[in-house]
Amino acid sequence: MPETKVALVTGGSRGIGKACAVELAKAGYNIAISYAGNDEAANKTVSELNQLGVKAKAYKFDVSDKEACSKSVSEILSDFGTIHVLVNNAGITRDGLFMRMSSENWEAVINTNLNSAFYMTNSVIKQMIKQREGCIINMSSIVGLMGNAGQTNYSAAKAGLIGFTKSLAKELGSRNIRVNAIAPGFIQTDMTKDLDTEKISEHIPLKRLGLPEDIAKAVKFLAVDAQYITGQVIGVDGGLVV
């Protein structure tokens, strides 16, 4: 019998990460999700994943903490045996105009959205190299491509993820490890719940915000189908950035 593949989705308890976990579970992956503090959402997601017939477990740790990432990945490897797909998805916003941007808000966003990808990838990479197979998907954003007033910290982190993706893809291609990024537009999650969706939709060629499932389908495509795609940034934004 072929080995069941394993995917680790950071921030997989809610929003986009949850949709990615569900889509990968539907594709037959066993799923490890990480989250920061909302136990209720994490437990609910794990039971939904279990109902899809796969093994699933949630791990509470802060992705901006290097030691916690390394320790938790060791635990996941011991629970699941391996990791084939890593989705670096966990992220936060701490918006504000640059003139008023505090060091705390700058560092929180860079640490949680960008340094986390280094910590998590660093922790899984040996296993992927050993098994000569791996797929890393970094959740960037359209603002990493085009910038956004009030989000210098967030855009810098998301642009950083794109450079990280392209360079790592070049380093790891020969090891059969693919590294890609997704650049979502405006997606309906808790992160965007306070935005004026009607006004934003007017500026989107497809005239609606995206759903977490729209991103999850791209993640499943990159993980399962896109065996000759690496180093790419896939826009899933309703046509906002063309």
CA dihedral 181, 113, 141, 149 (to 10 degrees): -150
Q: CA 199 to CA 207: how far, in whole Å?
A: 10
- Residue among 3 and 202 whose Cβ is closer to ligand NAP: 202
Taking the complex as a whole, how short is the minimal distance between the CB of residue 132 and ligand NAP, in angstroms?
A: 29
**From 7-15, 75-83, 98-106, 216-224, span contacting ligand NAP (CB under 6 A):** 7-15
Tokens of 124: 């899984």
- DSSP-assigned beta bridge partners for residue 184: 236
Q: Is 62 in the site for ligand NAP (CB under 6 A)?
A: yes
Distance (Å, rounded) from C-alpha 209 to C-alpha 187?
5
Q: Where are the beta strands (DSSP E) in 55-176?
A: 56-60, 85-88, 134-139
Piece in contact with ligand NAP (CB under 6 A), picked from 71-79, 121-129, 187-195, 217-225: 187-195
Nearer to ligand NAP by Cβ, of 3 and 198: the residue is: 198
Which of 21, 29, 31, 34 forms a contact with ligand NAP (CB under 6 A)? 34
Query: Minimal CA–CA distance to 89: which of 201, 193, 191, 231?
Result: 191
Q: Which of 186, 219, 234, 235 binds ligand NAP (CB under 6 A)?
A: 186
Tokens representing 95? Answer: 């918006």
Could you give the string, one character per residue 104-133, with x where binding to ligand NAP holds by CB under 6 A and - elsewhere?
--------xx--------------------
Residues in the chain: 242
Which residue in 105, 115, 123, 141 binds ligand NAP (CB under 6 A)? Answer: 141
List the one residue from 22, 46, 91, 105 that touches ligand NAP (CB under 6 A).
91
What is the 3-class SS of 114-168, one letter each residue?
HHHHHHHHHHHHHHHHHCCCEEEEEECCCHHHHCCCCCHHHHHHHHHHHHHHHHH
Any contact of residue 194 with ligand NAP (CB under 6 A)?
no
79 binds ligand NAP (CB under 6 A): no
Which residues of the chain form contacts with ligand NAP (CB under 6 A)?
A: 10-11, 13-17, 34-38, 41, 62-64, 89-92, 112-113, 139, 141, 184, 186-187, 189-192
